[in-house]
Amino acid sequence: MTFLGLPSLRTAQIVASTGVDAVIIDCEHGHISDDSMHHATAAIAAACVSPLVRLRMTHPDLIKRALDSGAQ
């Protein structure tokens, strides 16, 4: 398991291809927008790796957006 703090689709693809079982997309401390989170979760899941999202707060709307994007 590793953290992703960069809002780059290509970085998400590269990290997911390294053999980890999960990637945590760090929306709490990283500069990752909702759009970047959606793209990253799709790229990570496409590599058969579990995309997890660390949210900046436990607000129901943020949780729903993360789950709708494919986060586990």
Phi, psi of 49 (to 5 degrees): -120, 145
- pLDDT (0 to 100) of residue 31: 87
- Report the C-alpha gap between 62 and 39 in whole angstroms: 16
* pLDDT surpasses 90 at 20: yes
Task: List the domain boundaries for the chain.
Answer: 2-68
Q: Tell me the pTM.
A: 0.90
Mean pLDDT of the region 13-37: 94
Average pLDDT, the chain: 95
- pLDDT (0 to 100) of residue 63: 95
User: What digits encode the pLDDT tens for the residues 26-49?
Assistant: 999 988 999 999 999 999 999 999
Of the candidates 63, 67, 65, the residue with the CA atom closest to the CA atom of residue 51: 67
Work out the pLDDT band at 67, boundaries 50, 70, 90.
Answer: very high
Q: For residue 5, with 0-12 CB atoms within 10 Å meaning exposed, 13-18 middle and 19 or more buried, which class applies?
A: middle
